[in-house]
Amino acid sequence: MDLNLIANIILWGVVAAVALVAASRSRFLLQEGTREGVLDFFRIIPRIFLGVVGSGFLAEIIPQDLITQSLGPNSGVIGVCIASLAGALTPGGAVIGFALGVTALKAGAGAPQVIAYTTAWALFALQRIIVWEIPLMPPRIVWLRAAVSVPLPFLAAFGAMLIGKP
């Protein structure tokens, strides 16, 4: 059985279970949850579509030599550093971050470098730190969180290198 099919069955099972719990609490809760879920679905689908299609176009127009040289499987530690920095500087949500990661893979980037990119993007999106974390949290906590997170993109990339080609 295909792994994607198994994942879909599990996800639909979780949705059904949550819907049953909502229905057992109240009919209004089930209706409101369904309405909100459907609205979110129609808000997000165009963004995902644009991100996926856009990443395909971007992969075709980016010079493949540039990606393979700076982020390719043979770029090693330098490629991981470049990818980590790019991840920290990438603004936007998952549609942008993951679409750029997929674009890099399609253009010849190595898996460890893309893993470093997505890990750094998830941990260090600088605009999120500036716009959300610093204004809302004590600065000492923000900088401490960032400092202890610095090695994680590198550890993820080197772990991928040790495990082998995904």
Q: What is the pLDDT of residues 124-156, one digit of tens each?
A: 888 888 888 999 999 899 999 989 999 999 999
DSSP state for residue 63 in the 8-state scheme: -
DSSP state for residue 137 in the 8-state scheme: S
Which residues have a Cβ under 8 Å from the Cβ of 102 and sit 6 or more positions away?
52, 55, 59
State the Cα–Cα distance between residues 93 and 142, nearest whole angstrom: 20
- Residue-wise pLDDT tens digits, 55-92: 777 777 878 888 888 999 889 899 999 999 999 998 87
- Residue-wise pLDDT tens digits, 3-35: 889 999 999 999 999 999 999 999 999 999 999
State the Cα–Cα distance between residues 17 and 10, nearest whole angstrom: 10
pLDDT of 166 reads 56
Asked whether 108 and 67 are in contact (CB, 8 A), the reply is yes
State the Cα–Cα distance between residues 122 and 152, nearest whole angstrom: 11
Asked whether 128 and 88 are in contact (CB, 8 A), the reply is no
> b or e along 92-127 (b: 16 or more beta carbons within 10 Å of the residue's beta carbon)?
eeebbbbbbbbbbbbbbbbbbbbbbbbbbbbbbbee
- Predicted confidence band at 165 (pLDDT cuts at 50, 70, 90)? low
